């Protein structure tokens, strides 16, 4: 049977939508199938009575997000649409918030680190600086850190570096257990992204880019794909209501989902697919009747709460400081991020009960948050972020060198980069691989459906 379209993309997250956008620009007919009613995946935002709530990703960086910024420019998005996030990052230590985490001045001001730890931070920064060229975020498997875990890589330094810098960053941003995840992707990402004071957020919610891309793409929402098969030259998608045949398919879903959708994956794909475990995440967004925030010497939009000090929370995000437009005038929006160890249990609990536990714990950092809460939303992702384990690093080269086939993959995990930039890069990479195989469009003929994509 002749394929009904050129490319079928599974997943309307930022990776799938980027791949679809690139392929459509090349003139191919593309359709995206999305399980949920909305696009954006882990960059979805929801809107409620004037609040804009980011369910997953919170920000992007000015630096180290080359593919994202290129895409934004092409879509006519200006930096003004992606303003600087107000405030920096602080870490909780000894009963108060210590600002300046990730800033160059941290070596002098401390940012929660003891004097001896600051000396070690300067030594570590210099060590990385001398090897800067080896920390290529696209190739975390090639850095001088090899396959060491975050815990192993920090063991030779003062323990504050682990307990009050790397563990809180990895725990709050990626839901990582530092004894399991590799140091190379984290260090590469931190070096590329630069200081938190330069980070930005989409003015109208983190789903901004996904919505822009989807506006120019044919997206079928509410459609779950159950299996994807390489039928020798073309791909077949199996859904509840039948099959879709396409010349190529891009599986733009988290690696564990991709592995389940494609049980017959070839031997040069399966080891990486199965090694790419994900950490689950859970956070609770609290819609407040006033703009409460943790007390700190200067404004912060993220307070990291290290495992050394706090069992239940990994951090507190002050969304209304990040972007005043996230909450109505005079109101507040604060998001509580669950500690990695607690997430599996909280995901299985009743969402309101989970919220109650986190809000109770947050009183220590944001006094009065319980009384000021008008409403809350609990957001859980069983596949939250690529865990980037040493096993995944070891399998990546073979995966990247696999031949191009009818079924391709996209997603942050392909780049082993636990950030939306990884998803955008992987989407563009998948598109170029598909194009290298099926080329530009065939001339229109009786078998070929006209591209039904609406233009933005
Ligand atoms: C809590 C949290 C905080 C984060 N913070 C940041 C941040 O501040 N900055 C940053 O840059 N990144 C951040 N990230 C990471 C960022 O969100 C991801 O890297 C990015 O969104 C991944 O996009 P993706 O397209 O690869 O995957 P996804 O967004 O997961 O997209 C996959 C899509 O596939 C759909 N799908 C799944 N199965 C099927 C199926 N069987 N059939 C059809 N559709 C299916 C899903 O519903 C989803 O829409 C964060 C992530 C989380 C979870």
Determine the Cα–Cα distance for residues 351 and 389; give it in Å rounded to an integer: 29
Residue among 37, 43, 220, 226 whose CB has most ligand 1 atoms within 8 A, to mutate? 43
Which atom, in ligand 1's list, is nearest to the CA of 413? Answer: 26
Give exposure, 359-383, as e/b (b: 16+ Cβ within 10 Å). bebbebbbeebeebbeebbbbbbeb
> What's 420's DSSP letter?
H
Dump pLDDT digits (tens) for 18-76.
Answer: 999 999 999 999 999 999 999 999 999 999 999 999 999 999 999 999 999 999 999 99
User: How far away, in angstroms, is 396 Cα from ligand 1 center?
Assistant: 20
Task: Average the pLDDT over 261-271 and give the result.
Answer: 95
* Nearest CA owner, ligand 1 atom 31: 13
Alpha helix segments (H runs only) across 196-268: 208-215, 255-261
Q: Residue with the nearest Cα to atom 14 of ligand 1?
A: 57
Q: Any residues with Cβ below 6 Å from ligand 1, and which?
A: 10-16, 33-36, 41-43, 56-60, 224-225, 252-254, 257, 281, 283, 381, 384-385, 411-412, 419-423
Ligand 1 center to 253 CA (angstroms): 8
Q: Is the pLDDT of residue 143 over 90?
A: yes
User: What pLDDT, on the 0 to 100 scale, is given for residue 454?
Assistant: 28
Residue pLDDT, tens place only, 66-124: 999 999 999 999 999 999 998 899 999 999 999 999 888 877 788 999 999 999 999 99
CA 223 to ligand 1: nearest atom: 43
This prediction's pTM: 0.95
Per-residue pLDDT, 3: 85
Tell me what the mean pLDDT of segment 311-340 comes to.
Answer: 97
Share of the chain above pLDDT 70, in %: 96
Would strands 300-304 and 278-288 be described as parallel, antiparallel, or unpaired? Answer: unpaired
Question: What pLDDT is recorded for position 269?
Answer: 97
CA of 410 to the centre of ligand 1 (A): 11
Q: What is the pLDDT of residue 109?
A: 80
pLDDT at 450 over 60: no
> What average pLDDT does the chain have?
93
Arithmetic mean of pLDDT, 369-385: 98
19 φ, ψ (degrees, to nearest 5): -60, -45
Give the position of tokens 């459609």: 223
State which ligand 1 atom lies nearest to the alpha carbon of 17. 25
96 C-alpha to center of ligand 1: Å? 33
Tens of pLDDT, residues 388-444: 999 999 999 999 999 999 999 999 999 999 999 999 999 999 999 999 999 876 554
Distance 35 CA to ligand 1 centre (A): 13
For position 426, what pLDDT does the model report? 98
Q: Alpha carbon of 156 to those of 91, 159, 162, 195, 308: distances in Å? A: 22, 8, 10, 24, 18
Which atom of ligand 1 lies at the shortest distance from residue 412's CA? 26
State percent of the chain over pLDDT 90.
88
Contact assessment for residue 181 and residue 149, using Cβ atoms and an 8 Å cutoff: yes
Question: Ligand 1 pocket check: which of 253, 284, 316, 338 to mutate, most ligand atoms within 8 Å of Cβ?
Answer: 253
pLDDT confidence of residue 448? 35
CA 42 / ligand 1 centre spacing (Å): 3
pLDDT at 110: 83
pLDDT score at 442 = 54
User: What is the whole-number distance in angstroms between the Cα of residue 36 and the centre of ligand 1?
Assistant: 12
Distance 273 CA to ligand 1 centre (A): 16
Lowest mean pLDDT among 27-31, 137-141, 235-239, 327-331: 137-141
What pLDDT, on a 0 to 100 scale, did the predictor assign at position 281? 98
| Pocket residue to mutate for ligand 1, from 15, 36, 42, 383, most atoms within 8 A of Cβ | 42
Say what the pLDDT of residue 176 is.
97
356 three-state secondary structure:
helix
pLDDT of residue 86: 83
CB 144 within 8 A of CB 390: no
Best mutation site among 9, 21, 44, 57 for ligand 1, i.e. most ligand atoms within 8 A of its Cβ? 57
Output Rg (C-alpha) for the chain, integer angstroms: 22
- Give per-residue burial for 412-427: e unless 16+ CB within 10 Å, then b: bbbbbbbbbbbbbbbb
Nearest atom (ligand 1) to Cα of 281: 1
C-alpha of residue 13 to centroid of ligand 1, in Å: 6
Looking at residues 197-213, what average pLDDT do you find? 95
DSSP 334: E
pLDDT at 455: 25
Query: Which of 10, 11, 19, 413 to probe ligand 1 with, by most ligand atoms within 8 A of CB?
Result: 11
Q: Poorest-confidence range of 106-115, 149-158, 261-270, 380-389? A: 106-115
Q: How far is the CA of 213 from the centre of ligand 1 (A)?
A: 15
Choice between 399 and 3, residue whose per-residue pLDDT is larger:
399
pLDDT computed for residue 444 by the predictor: 47
């Amino acid at each position: 049977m002749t394929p009904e379209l050129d490319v079928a993309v599974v997943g309307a997250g930022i990776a799938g939508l980027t791949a679809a956008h690139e392929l459509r620009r090349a003139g191919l007919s593309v359709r995206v199938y999305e399980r949920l009613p909305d696009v954006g995946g882990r960059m979805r935002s929801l809107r409620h009575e004037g609040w804009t709530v980011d369910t997953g990703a919170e920000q992007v960086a000015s630096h180290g997000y080359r593919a994202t910024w290129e895409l934004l420019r092409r879509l006519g998005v200006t930096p003004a649409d992606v303003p600087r996030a107000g405030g920096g990052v602080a870490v909780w230590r000894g009963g108060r918030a210590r600002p300046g985490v990730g800033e160059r001045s941290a070596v002098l001001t401390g940012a929660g680190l003891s004097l001896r730890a600051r000396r070690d931070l300067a030594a570590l920064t210099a060590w990385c600086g001398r090897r800067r060229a080896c920390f290529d975020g696209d190739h975390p498997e090639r850095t001088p850190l090899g396959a060491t875990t975050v815990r192993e890589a920090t063991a030779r330094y003062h323990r504050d570096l682990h307990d009050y810098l790397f563990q809180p960053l990895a725990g709050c941003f990626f839901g990582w257990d530092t004894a399991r995840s590799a140091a190379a992707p984290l260090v590469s990402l931190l070096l590329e992204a630069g200081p938190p004071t330069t980070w930005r957020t989409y003015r109208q919610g983190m789903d901004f880019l996904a919505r822009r891309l989807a506006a120019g793409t044919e997206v079928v929402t509410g459609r779950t794909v159950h299996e994807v098969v390489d039928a020798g030259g073309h791909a077949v998608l199996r859904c509840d209501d039948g099959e879709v045949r396409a010349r190529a398919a891009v599986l733009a879903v988290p690696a564990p989902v991709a592995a389940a959708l494609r049980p017959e994956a070839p031997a040069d794909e399966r080891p990486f697919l199965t090694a790419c475990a994900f950490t689950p995440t859970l956070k609770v967004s609290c819609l407040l009747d006033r703009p409460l925030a943790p007390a700190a010497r200067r404004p912060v939009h993220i307070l990291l709460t290290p495992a050394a000090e706090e069992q239940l929370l990994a951090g507190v995000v002050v969304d209304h400081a990040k972007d005043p437009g996230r909450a109505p005038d005079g109101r507040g929006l604060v998001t509580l991020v669950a500690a990695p160890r607690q997430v599996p249990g909280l995901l299985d609990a009743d969402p309101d009960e989970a919220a109650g536990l986190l809000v109770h714990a947050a009183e220590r950092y944001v006094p009065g948050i319980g009384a000021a809460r008008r409403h809350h939303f609990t957001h859980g992702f069983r596949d939250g972020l690529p865990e980037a384990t040493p096993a995944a690093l070891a399998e990546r080269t073979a995966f990247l060198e696999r031949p191009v086939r009818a079924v391709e993959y996209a997603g942050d995990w392909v780049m082993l980069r636990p950030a939306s930039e990884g998803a955008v890069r992987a989407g563009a990479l998948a598109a170029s691989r598909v194009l290298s195989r099926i080329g530009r469009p065939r001339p229109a003929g009786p078998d070929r459906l006209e591209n039904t994509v609406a233009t933005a």
